[in-house]
Amino acid sequence: MNNPKISVIMPVYNGEKYLKEAINSILNQTFTDFEFIIINDGSTDNTENIILSYDDERIIYIKNQENLKISKTLNKGIELAKGEYIARMDADDISIPKRFEKQMSFMQKNPKVDVCGGWLKTFGYRRRTWKFPLTHNEIKAFMLFSPALVHPCVLGKRAFFTRLKYSDKFVGTEDYELWVRGVDKYTYANIPQVLLKYRLHHSTTDDIPDANELANSCKTVMLMKCANDMGADDIDVLVNLLSKNITLKDKIRVLDTILNANKVSNYFNQKLLSKVLALEVLNVIKVHGCSFNAFKEGLKIIKHSPFSLFSERAAKNLIKCFLK
């Protein structure tokens, strides 16, 4: 096989239950110029037999002799990849048939973009559509609270992955850490179309020790880029915004401090940051009971970006709150 356009990397560990669905969704892509690197990370179930049951020359099967965990396994795949682009896939999700076709078309039309993701539909114990910010500056602002790029849905230039690679110190949040590390040197984007069906089940990063702490360290790095004099107490408030143990006034005070600090640093686009913080305040208001007083307190932040109230998701949440 000549060098393919895309190298698809899919690690799998004891993934027999959903593996066929994931493999079939890649092999049935309308864009066919790819190699499919499947790495069995020391599985003890029927994973290997399922992979070996396929007779498709695009599949490159690699077997780890021991469980290396996801970061080292992904880096192994990156080293083996021959494609101009690298696409990620998880062994329990389903890519829509035109995912690669749409992503390749987008990348060719937007050559300055290094990594692109898309929207997704969840299935399993909850069904909904997750819509993510589209432009690099929007994604950058949202990364103060979350990755904003869905890991098993991304496709990026191979050079991005080979230069940065994944950190094995961030198992469970390896994608978030990678996006944070690359955000100032590379360009991200999301396509405003559903490209992936994302399975929700009870085996998640919640089962990975320290995953929340590692995610909080990524949030802290993003915070320091715009407000490098924030104290430890305020950082603790930021990474625990949805905790009931922190007062609403403290939360609003910290978010207001971030807005003012960014006016000086100009790290984030101020309007986009205002929107992100306003949307986060709506989540905080829900935690504190959706009372009129909570909403009044939240207006100190929301007033900087009132249009955030009119997003479809925000409007639905507010209506549900005040109807209770």
Looking at per-residue pLDDT, the higher value among 246 and 21 belongs to 21
What's this model's pTM, rounded to 2 decimal places? 0.90
For the segment 266-284, the average pLDDT, to the nearest whole number, is 88
CATH 3.90.550.10 positions along the chain are 6-207
pLDDT tops 50 at residue 206: no
**What pLDDT does 78 receive?**
98
- In the chain, % helix, strand, coil (3-state, to 5) comes to 50, 15, 35
DSSP 8-class letter at 234: H
pLDDT band, very low/low/confident/very high, at 96 (cuts 50, 70, 90): very high
Quick check: 310 pLDDT over 50?
no
Q: pLDDT over 90 for what percent of the chain? A: 68
Q: Could you write out the DSSP letters of every residue in 236-297?
A: HHHHTTT-TTS-HHHHHHHHHHHHHHHHHH--S-HHHHHHHHHHHHHHHHHHTT--HHHHHH
pLDDT per residue as tens digits for the range 223-253 = 999 998 889 999 998 888 878 888 888 888 8
Q: Under CATH, what is the fold of the domain 6-207?
A: Spore Coat Polysaccharide Biosynthesis Protein SpsA; Chain A (3.90.550)
Identity at 273, one-letter amino acid code = L
Residue 286: its pLDDT value, please? 78
Tokens at 4, concatenated: 């393919």
Average pLDDT, the chain: 88
Quote the radius of gyration of the chain (alpha carbons, Å): 21
Angle at 220 between CA 216 and CA 225, to 5 degrees: 155
CA nearest 73: which of 85, 92, 49, 90?
Answer: 90
- Which range (61-70, 111-120, 137-146, 209-218) has the least confidence? 209-218
Provide mean pLDDT across the span 174-203. Answer: 94
Helix (H) or strand (E) holding 40: strand 34-40
**How many whole angstroms separate alpha carbon 76 and alpha carbon 66?**
13
Q: How confident is the model at residue 222 (pLDDT cuts 50, 70, 90)?
A: very high
Band (pLDDT 50/70/90 cuts) for residue 197 is very high
What whole-number distance in Å separates Cα of residue 163 and Cα of residue 149? 19
pLDDT tens for 99-151 read 999 999 999 999 999 999 999 999 987 888 999 999 999 999 999 999 999 99
pLDDT of amino acid 208: 63
